[in-house]
Chains A and B, each alone.
Chain A
Amino acid sequence: MPTTETQQLDEVIASSRRRMLTLGGAALAGIALSSVAHAQSATLTDADYLNFALNLEYLEAEFYTLAASGQTIDQMGLGLTGTGTQGTVTTKSGGPSSCKVPFANTLVQSYAQEIATEERNHVKFLRGALGSSAVAQPAIDLYNSFNTLAGLLGLGLTSFDPFADDIHFLLGAYIFEDVGVTAYTGAAPNLTSSTNLDAAAGIQGVEAYHAGLVRQVIYGLDQSSTTLGAAGTATAVAAAISKLRAMVDGSNSVSSTMKDGDDIGLGTQQVMLNGSSNLTASAIVNASTTGSINAATTGNTAGSRVFARTAAQVLAIVYAGGSGKGGFFPAGLNGNVK
């Protein structure tokens, strides 16, 4: 479907796509590893981790609020000011109102509204908890970022508009939610205050509810054809997103012996229950199961536990492999984790 938008997109992603695609997985992993070293060089406080989380919540809140309401979160009354450099939100050419998803499925619309409310509440909570140390909302890109990622999926996609319709929105959400879960899981043991830990665990759980919801709904809708294509197409896109995240985050790199790295995409897996081997199961939960084909090579996560990511690994993903900035955060995060 050649449109003005896709033509713009081709222009916009030409440089970034060429740069990132030609780098290949190994080079992406190298970039991510340099980011790891950077982020771990300083001793981080609870506030640093909460500000790191706040950056991610700004991103999620903007995405869902635009999708559900066609407004940015400041238009919904949230504050964006704080330490660091405040940035703007980049959307497609029609602006925020053009991002309101023309939902066909009222349940999906309700889910979008709920998640939008909850992510805004997380922003408000973290800003309140951090007080004057709260970081400002950094520059957020919800246009070029998705197109860049689409190009990296290896599926021949040259653009991706997560605000186009139900299934596109859900796949956009898929990009964020599992990452949020792994970010909070990785940060939890670093928090020194019991109060902060308790709150982080509570938000982690909510992100996991979101992730479970989004994955469940995509998989269910994708049993029939969607606007993306025949049944199974959305599942394949989701699986490619997981594979890309596992590659870019610089750890548990995808290899012949670790098929899915630290990110399990939608699809089916074989499980073993009560001696009945090779039963087919879904993969709604983003975790390796001991009965699955990944069991033997993911010892640190076997046991159906979600993955934990370091802050640096999360940065590598949200920067789409960029160093210090890029992807969803074209000017980088605000705060000491960036």
Chain B
Amino acid sequence: MDISTRRLAEKRLSRRGFCLAAAATAATTTLVAGCGNDGSTTTGGGGGGSTTLNDGDYLNYALNLEYLEAEFYLRAATGSGLSSSDTGNSTSKTTGGSQVPGLNSLQTQYINEIAQNELDHVRFLRSALAGSAVAAPTIDLTNSFNALANAAGLGSSFNPFSSYSNFLIGAFIFEDVGVTAYHGAAKLLTSKTNLTAAAEIHAVEAYHAAAIRSQIVAAGSTAISTANAVENVRSMLGGGNETTLSATGIVAADSTNSIGFERTPDQVLHIVYGTGGGAGVKGGAFFPSGLNGNISVTQA
């Protein structure tokens, strides 16, 4: 897809997002499951631009994303998600996810490592935020992937927990987004301590992203095509900021200066909510009830 075509597609799709696109594909008038809040808007809805955001708000925004990643990887690794002591909830608010079957020892090692990393990030951020840490929000690891697959033209359902190759695609969805989110937030933080911590986590997400992207490339053309179909959707929702995956496109970065991409909180919210451009989007896809904290409703 050339740039002009992509821009046109972005204009068309970004206003409706992949949930509505999925609904159209499914030729149904009902919203796709998992997109319950798709398109719902508010006027003057809280979070974001109307009040000044502080470091705690940005760290809580990151914590929401880490909850999502930790739930995904922990469930893939062990079949169980975050424990109540790591979520602030007495019972889990996450649905979906199961241990990936048929792994060889190397694949098990890879999943265990990332799971531990993301669990550590949750614990670190909860510790740093102390009493202001938000509890884990409602997370959907079933309908979200189905809707995303539908929007990407990959069929009506997609289970990233059914095999290692599917797991790689699921991981691919998250890691590059995490990188861009931390990069975008870095310059918004006022405390040097928080900035350093964010930079340290930012890099870990980039290690993960590269490990995942290179494994998909090594898996061959079918896997690469699947990843790039997902990437197209992510690009449309998240303001571009993507490098098409290939053997010479492992790193996601600007092609002219090779500086890594960044995304605003709004752009990240549009991706994880599975809903394109516009203010007032409160939730959807991976976070059916939105993020917890002051960054939860899109401003644009």
Contact = CB atoms under 8 A, between A and B. Distances in A.
Given A198-B187, A305-B200, A205 B179 contact: yes
B41 interface: no
A202 B183 contact: yes
A243 interface: no
Given A107-B218, A209-B250, A216-B211, A188 B203 contact: no
Interface in B191-213: 192, 195-197, 199-204, 206-211, 213
B112 A118 contact: no
B78 A217 contact: no
Nearest to B118: A304
Given A209-B206, A209-B250, A211-B210, A289 B117 contact: yes
A201 B262 CA distance: 9
B210 A209 contact: yes
Interface in A196-251: 197-199, 201-213, 215-217, 220, 223
Given A198-B262, A209-B209, A281-B112, A114 B119 contact: no
A23 interface: no
Interface stretch (B3-11, B56-64, B164-172, B251-259): B251-259
Given A125-B258, A204-B203, A274-B78, A285 B187 contact: no
Interface string B286-299: 00000000000000
Contacts of A287: 117, 200, 204, 207
A266 B206 CA distance: 17
Given A107-B247, A114-B248, A204-B203, A121 B262 contact: no
Contact of B196 (A118, A188, A198, A210): A188
Contacts of B32: none
Interface in B218-267: 218, 247-254, 256-262
A287 B186 CA distance: 20
Nearest to A280: B109
Contact of A110 (B199, B206, B248): B248
A189 B195 contact: yes
Interface string B117-138: 1111101100000000000000
Q: Chain A interface residue count: which class?
A: 35 or more
A202 B81 CA distance: 31
Interface string B85-128: 00000000000000000000110111011011111110110000
Interface string A264-285: 0000110111111001111111
Nearest to B105: A280
A276 B74 CA distance: 11
A115 B113 CA distance: 25
Contacts of B78: 273-274, 276
A251 to B, nearest CB: 15
Contacts of A269: 113
Contacts of A275: 83
Q: Chain B interface residue count: which class?
A: 35 or more
Query: Which of B201, B210, B213, B262 has the most A CB atoms < 10 Å from its CB?
Result: B210
Given A285-B113, A304-B116, A208 B210 contact: yes
A204 B287 CA distance: 29
Contacts of B207: 208-209, 211-212, 215, 284-287, 306
B203 A205 contact: yes
A181 interface: yes
Given A215-B207, A216-B211, A306-B200, A199 B259 contact: yes
A313 B186 CA distance: 23
Given A209-B209, A210-B210, A305 B201 contact: yes
B74 A274 contact: yes
A215 B110 CA distance: 12
Interface in A299-322: 301-308
Contact of A280 (B112, B203, B211, B258): B112
A303 B196 CA distance: 13
A290 interface: yes
B214 interface: yes
Query: Which of B197, B208, B215 has the most A CB atoms < 10 Å from its CB?
Result: B208
Nearest to B109: A282
A184 B206 CA distance: 14
A281 B108 CA distance: 7
What 9 A-B pairs come out closest when comparing CB atoms?
A212-B210, A305-B200, A303-B124, A208-B206, A212-B207, A205-B260, A202-B259, A121-B258, A110-B247
Given A206-B260, A282-B112, 18 more contacts: A114-B251, A124-B257, A125-B258, A185-B200, A188-B195, A189-B199, A202-B259, A207-B203, A209-B250, A210-B210, A280-B112, A282-B106, A283-B113, A284-B110, A303-B121, A304-B118, A305-B197, A305-B204
7 contacts: A110-B248, A121-B257, A188-B186, A198-B183, A212-B209, A274-B78, A305-B201
